[in-house]
Structures are given as C-alpha cells and as structure tokens.
Amino acid sequence: MYSTTGLAEWAAVLDVHFNAAPNEGDEGLALRGFYVNRKEGTLKRPLIYVNTAHHPLAVSSTFLHEVGHHMSSEILGGDEHTPVHFFIDGDYASHLEQPAELAADVMVSIAGYPEPIARKIFATAWEWGLVARAKDLTEAALSEVRRHLKKVYGFDLTEQIPAAQMLHYLSGMIHFAKLRWALLAEYDI
C-alpha cells in the first residue's frame, strides 16, 4: 500500500502524468480512477487519475489497475480504440467481459496476493478447467482473505468502510481474490 506521494514517485518513474484528488459524495466515489493513453491527442504522456476519497488500500489498488492499462497500452499496443479507461467502483462484472480491464485487474490481484500467500489462502483442491464453473469462494477462503488484508494492509471492511460503500468493496475483495485463485489454478503463478 503506497501513500499518494509514493504513488506520485512511482508514476514519475513510469513517465506518466499523475493526478490524485478526492472526489467525494455518492456519485464522486463511484469513480475510482481512470487512465488516458497518449494517443488521445492532447497528451504527450499518458495520464493516471486516482480518487483519493477512497480508503488508501483502494487508492493503491486503483493505481495498480491503471498501471495495468499503461503496461498493456505501452507494451502490447492495440489500445487506440479506447483512449480513456474509467474504473467505476464495484463494476467488476463488466471487467470479466473486457480483456483490457481483466488484464488491468490481474496486476492488482497478483500484487495483493504474492504467490506463497496465494498458495496458502487458495489451498482448496482445484482441477484444470474448473474456473468457468467456479461460483463461490469458500467461507474459509474468504476468512483467509479478510485475515490477509487486515494483517498486511490493516484493512478491515466492516470497521473502516462506510455502509454505503461496503458492498462495492466486498465485490472488489471477492473479485480480486477469485481472479487470483483462477490465475493460480489455471497458470500456476
């Protein structure tokens, strides 16, 4: 988890414009951040914006997600049809259908659960090809996820997050955990 200053330093290393500012209120909070690639025309460098009205762990996750867009845009190319990627809070279902969004989420997932931790948390036996049919994290795995987030990031969903946002944050926790689980099961990473 990085402070805003730490994220700014990281953005400077990546040579992207960085904008971090709070966007409050229900509608404001809905926007977690966005990435604008340099092909937009007006920018010499890509731009990452993160909404700092969110919990610091969410802000760092948003940043990583946008860095994921940056990596795919700069390294893989092919991003010219979508110059701006908005990250809407809790809108993870749509990410599953958009390869660019899913790739960006992979960045968050792997950063949040390094391999040894992923192997410990997602120890449930999986067989190849189960991913498409996997619906739920087990209760035990979800408890481990909560314990991990508390221990490493000091993050506690029920104690720190306002009720109105809790469902979105829970969606995010489940989404990134399941994605990490899928990466482990399918690619052994």
Judged by the rule CB under 5 A, the positions of this chain that interact with Zn ion are 85, 87, 101, 104
Angstrom CA distances, 149 to 45, 65, 116, stand at 33, 18, 15
- Nearer to Zn ion by Cβ, of 107 and 121: the residue is 107
CB of 116 to Zn ion, least distance (A): 28
Nearer to Zn ion, 75 or 125 (CB): 75
Q: How far is the CB of 180 from Zn ion (least distance, A)?
A: 17
Q: CA–CA distance from 170 to each of 91, 98, 176, 177 (Å)? A: 12, 21, 10, 11
Q: How far is the CB of 189 from Zn ion (least distance, A)?
A: 21
Q: How far is the CB of 21 from Zn ion (least distance, A)?
A: 18
Of 87 and 181, which has the nearer Cβ to Zn ion? 87
**Helix 4-14 and helix 56-71, axial crossing angle in degrees, nearest 10:** 10
Q: How far is the CB of 32 from Zn ion (least distance, A)?
A: 9
User: Under 8 Å CB-to-CB from 126, ≥6 apart: which residues?
Assistant: 134, 181, 184, 185
Contact 60, 32 (CB under 8 A): no
Q: Is 129 exposed, middle or buried (0-12, 13-18, 19+ CB in 10 A)?
A: exposed
Residue at shortest CB range from Zn ion: 85
Closest approach, Cβ 107 to Zn ion, in A, equals 10
Closer to Zn ion by CB, 64 or 121: give it: 64
What phi, psi does 16 have (nearest 5°)? -120, 150
Which C-beta is closer to Zn ion: that of 85 or that of 180? 85
Instruction: Kindly calculate the radius of gyration of the chain based on its CA atoms and give it in whole angstroms.
Output: 16
